[in-house]
Amino acid sequence: MTALELRTAGESHGPAMVCLVEGLPLGMPFDLDFVNAELRRRQRGYGRGARQRIEEDAAEVLAGVRQGRITAGPLAIAVRNQDRRLDDPVRTPPVTRPRPGHADLAGSLKFLSTDCRDVIERSSARETAARTAGGAAARCLLREFGIEAFGFVRGAIDVFTSARPTPENWRDLRAIRDASEVGVPDPEASERLASRIREAKEAKDTVGGLIEVHVFGAPPGLGACGAGLERLDARIGAAVLGVQAIKSVEIGMGAEVARHRGSEVHDAIRLDPARRATSSLGFERQTNHAGGLEGGMTNGMPIVITAAMKPISTLLRGMPSVDLATGEPQTSAYERSDVCAAAAASVVLENVVAFEVARAFRAKFGGDSLAEVRAQVDAYLAMARGLTTVP
Ligand code: EPS
């Protein structure tokens, strides 16, 4: 079974968020400390609301791990909620004034309910705790093959860092990002962005963010060119847009490609024998406008994804809305919420993008055990390197 799949379950204020991952190879090391570090990182960030002072997210492995390694069965992880009040009608009163931008109105109409709470318990971004756990688990496989993901906040409003991650500097940038309270790998931009978030909070308003994910070390040939939805661009795009509050996804140069001619957009190819051992197999590019993906497949260059997150849709100041129970014009409801969750979303996106790379990796190399996967990868890389004779 080589199809890697991830499902989640759980309500925001129910007993737990749950993640089921099928298709990890037997014998793969499962690094619980790494998964927990990702869960804790997802909780951080300046602008997060009071809920994160209640929760202490940690992965509880329910199935699929034996003595630190993946078994033959699916992996099941629970992240327990501390704030459990799903069945308490007093602490979960009906929400009848939908928040513009939230799932409230569309969901209430879809499920024929005037209580938006029926919808928001599941649409809540709390669900991303489960997806982060599953993505981090899949990264334990990628790391065995030197494939690493790095997500960060580029900025918001009028503050954007010009940091440029490369295979050589991304670990240094990661250390700077981890020291930033807003997830930006640039101390000066971090401070300015924190001020923007503080200003928004004072104005009872909210902030979104521009987020980037770079994946280093992926070999060429992951993905598909012949089946639209199996193109790795399509899978990554869907996974990114599947994260709450994400409104756009771009690959490499993204929408900018429309403003330039082909000669300025496409990344010229040259063969560098000294770099045959790297993920490019020696097929080097001076630029990476394609963002590591050509024809729906990895080309050996870093995968580069940019996503825009909308500002949090729960505004303390409210927005014009309608009471679903009475039909009267009303200010939208306020529920405890975040002012900015871009740093958290950058952790989620790092893990969901990595999951899609892991999925494509499993599809290409197959194998039921880690030993078998390793043999397949080695055989493929040897064949790919032997394809072109170095002059
Ligand atoms: C969210 C609303 C808030 C956030 C939540 C996402 O939850 P609560 O109403 O319980 O304060 O805290 O995010 C998380 C709980 C989390 O762990 O990320 C929403 O409406 O999506």
User: 51 CB less than 6 Å from ligand 1?
Assistant: yes
Give the residue from 114, 110, 319 showing the smallest Cα distance to 205: 319
pLDDT at res. 227: 87
User: To which H or E segment does residue 357 belong?
Assistant: helix 342-365
pLDDT in tens, 202-246: 999 999 999 999 999 999 999 999 888 999 999 999 999 999 999
Domain 5-385 CATH superfamily: Chorismate synthase AroC (3.60.150.10)
The token pair at 78 is 């629970």
The ranges assigned to domains in the chain are 5-385
Q: Looking at the DSSP assignment, which residues form a beta bridge with residue 5?
A: 22
Give just the sign of the alpha carbon dihedral 79, 118, 313, 315.
negative
pLDDT at res. 389: 84
User: 313 CB less than 6 Å from ligand 1?
Assistant: no
pTM: 0.98
User: 335 CB less than 6 Å from ligand 1?
Assistant: yes
pLDDT at res. 391: 74
Distances from the Cα of 242 to the Cαs of 178, 298, 307, in angstroms?
25, 21, 11
User: 125 CB less than 6 Å from ligand 1?
Assistant: yes
User: 124 CB less than 6 Å from ligand 1?
Assistant: yes
Distances from the Cα of 203 to the Cαs of 200, 293, 315, 363, in angstroms?
5, 42, 10, 49
- CA gyration radius, the chain: 22
Contact 185, 169 (CB under 8 A): no
Say how far apart CA 343 and CA 180 lie, in whole Å. Answer: 9
Q: For the chain, which residues score pLDDT lower than 50?
A: none
**Which residue pairs from 88-93 have beta carbons closer than 8 angstroms and sit at least 24 positions apart in sequence?**
92/13, 92/117
Q: Measured in angstroms, how far is the CA atom of residue 125 from the centroid of ligand 1?
A: 6
Contact 154, 212 (CB under 8 A): yes
Q: Measured in angstroms, how far is the CA atom of residue 136 from the centroid of ligand 1?
A: 21
pLDDT at res. 390: 77
Atom of ligand 1 lying closest to residue 48 CA: 12
